[in-house]
Amino acid sequence: MALTSSMNWGINLLISLTFLTVTELIGLSWVCFIYTIMSLASLAFVIVFIPETKGCSLEQISVELAKQ
């Protein structure tokens, strides 16, 4: 959880620091398009590589992750 939270804060900081500069350079529509592509790539990663854990106990999750 700490790694996920740190990554979230780090990406939010990166976007906050670069948004206005990049918007001035390439325009708002291109910035939104780039962020959309990044979001879709993240979604694809989650769908392909992150196992579903809904309804599983911690022991079942540990066993499933140990197999991989």
Determine the average pLDDT of the residues in 24-51. Answer: 94
- Give residue 52's pLDDT band: very low, low, confident or very high (50, 70, 90): confident
Residue 25 in this model has a pLDDT that exceeds 90: yes
Q: Is the Cβ–Cβ distance between 31 and 23 less than 8 Å? A: yes
Residue spans of the domains in the chain: they are 1-66
Question: Which residue has tokens 């206005």?
Answer: 20
pTM above 0.85, yes or no: no
When pLDDT is averaged across residues 4-24 and rounded to a whole number, the result is: 94
Would you list the DSSP string of the chain? -HHHHHHHHHHHHHHHHHHHHHHHHH-HHHHHHHHHHHHHHHHHHHHHHSPP-TT--HHHHHHHHHH-
The confidence score (pLDDT) of residue 31 equals: 94
